[in-house]
Amino acid sequence: MTSIAVPRPATTAPRAIARATGESRPVRWVLITIALAFLAFTLVLPLALVFSQAFSKGFSVYWQAITEPDALSAAKLTLLIAAVAVPVNVVFGVAAAWCITKFDFPGKNVLITLIDLPFAVSPVISGMIFVLLYGAHGWFGAWLTEHDIKIIFAVPGIILATTFITSPFVARELIPLMQEQGTDEEEAAIVLGAGGWQTFFRVTLPNIKWGLLYGLILCNARAMGEFGAVSVVSGHIRGQTNTLPLHVEILYNEYAFAASFAVASVLTLLALVTLALKTLVEWYQRRSAHDLAETKSTPERMAA
């Protein structure tokens, strides 16, 4: 260390600068090692443990745990929730991004903050607000009981809470992206006689497809994995209002650890697929941004 750091007069020799703007090799390797060791402990070990525990009682126990009727119905419910929450939030996200990025109107910043709001709310509180509204003692509780409609401790409540939690994902991804792209291309399309929907599907959608997909992937992962909010509104009725994450909890609390980790491993696989897709989309996004920059760099041709 000391031999390297002998104070020198301020020469501008390139090598001295290279040394001063980068760390020496040993420092570099120490930093990399600490960072990787930290990540190994916090991220990789839990990941490895899930799979090791899942197969600890052999493959047949694993297979049985993920194909028993309760697990299958939990999987079905989880898919159903995502199948409702994700498309609804895609429509909302696109609509919100369209009005925020393509038009000027007062209160826009307030609207952006309101869209972000569910991110700031604890999952438990997100579930609780729906209990206060639609539960037996809730505001609409008496009316709902009268008409024999069950929302809380039933599937609609789970879908509502999940929709609340996942509502910002798509909008959040699209707003900065569409802000950057501006309105020129859409305006050109309209001036050339395209209809509104035509403009959206032919001009806007191809421009935002990667961002949209990115938001959709994150939204889906959260919808399938949500635990706190769903746990408050579900009532944990096996075979009826049990999602996969809740099923993991039930098995774990019954000391059926191998089975619990078997179901957890399915969710972990889902998370890994999500990460892989996300990385892929980021790669495509960068590539298309690069292409866009190249076409934008020849404005003369476009202006002519």
Partner 1 sequence: MKSGRSQRVLPGFGLSLGITCTYLSLIVLLPLATIFARTTDLSWAAFWSTVTNPRVLASYRVTFGTSFIAAVVNTVFGLLVAWVLVRYRFPGRRLVDALVDLPFALPTAVAGIALTTLYASNGWIGQYLEPLGIKVAYTSLGITVALIFIGLPFVVRTVQPVLDDLEVEVEEAAASLGARRWQTFSRVVFPTVAPALLTGFALAFARAIGEYGSVVFISGNMPMKTEIVPLLIITKLEQYDYPGATAVAVVMLVASFLLLLTINLLQWAARRRMATSS
Residues 89-128 that bind partner 1 (CB under 8 A): 91-92, 95-96, 98-100, 102-105, 111, 113-125, 128
What span, in angstroms and rounded, lies between the C-alpha atoms of 187 and 196? 10
- The one among 86, 158, 163, 208 contacting partner 1 by CB under 8 A: 163
Kind and range of the H or E run holding 282: helix 257-296
Pick between residue 246 and residue 298 the one whose CB is nearest to partner 1.
246
What span, in angstroms and rounded, lies between the C-alpha atoms of 243 and 249? 10
Pick between residue 104 and residue 298 the one whose CB is nearest to partner 1.
104
CB atoms within 10 A of CB 128: 18
CA angle 174, 175, 181 (to 5 degrees): 85
CA angle 276, 280, 282 (to 5 degrees): 115
Applying the rule CB under 8 A, the residues between 221 and 280 that interact with partner 1 are 221, 224-228, 231-232, 244-246, 248-249, 252, 257, 260-261, 264, 267-268, 271-272, 274-276, 278-279
Task: Compute the least distance from the CB of residue 103 to partner 1, in Å.
Answer: 5
Contact flag: residue 49 with partner 1 (CB under 8 A): yes
Contact flag: residue 1 with partner 1 (CB under 8 A): no
Q: Position 90: which residue type?
A: V
What span, in angstroms and rounded, lies between the C-alpha atoms of 291 and 282? 14
Stretch of 57-65, 143-151, 156-164, 292-300 contacting partner 1, by CB under 8 A: 156-164
Pick between residue 183 and residue 301 the one whose CB is nearest to partner 1.
183
Cβ burial of 177 (10 Å; 0-12, 13-18, 19+) is buried
Q: Could you tell me the CA-to-CA distances from 245 to 26, 46, 78, 108 in Å, in that order?
A: 44, 16, 9, 37
Pick between residue 60 and residue 103 the one whose CB is nearest to partner 1.
103
Q: How big is the site for partner 1, counted in residues (CB under 8 A)?
A: 106
Task: Compute the least distance from the CB of residue 288 to partner 1, in Å.
Answer: 19
Contact flag: residue 142 with partner 1 (CB under 8 A): no
- The one among 2, 3, 5, 298 contacting partner 1 by CB under 8 A: 5
Pick between residue 2 and residue 297 the one whose CB is nearest to partner 1.
2
Give the closest residue to 263 by CA, choosing from 79, 56, 72: 72
CA dihedral of 35, 40, 46, 50, whole degrees rounded to 10:
150
Task: Compute the least distance from the CB of residue 294 to partner 1, in Å.
Answer: 21
Task: Compute the least distance from the CB of residue 114 to partner 1, in Å.
Answer: 6
Task: Compute the least distance from the CB of residue 31 to partner 1, in Å.
Answer: 6
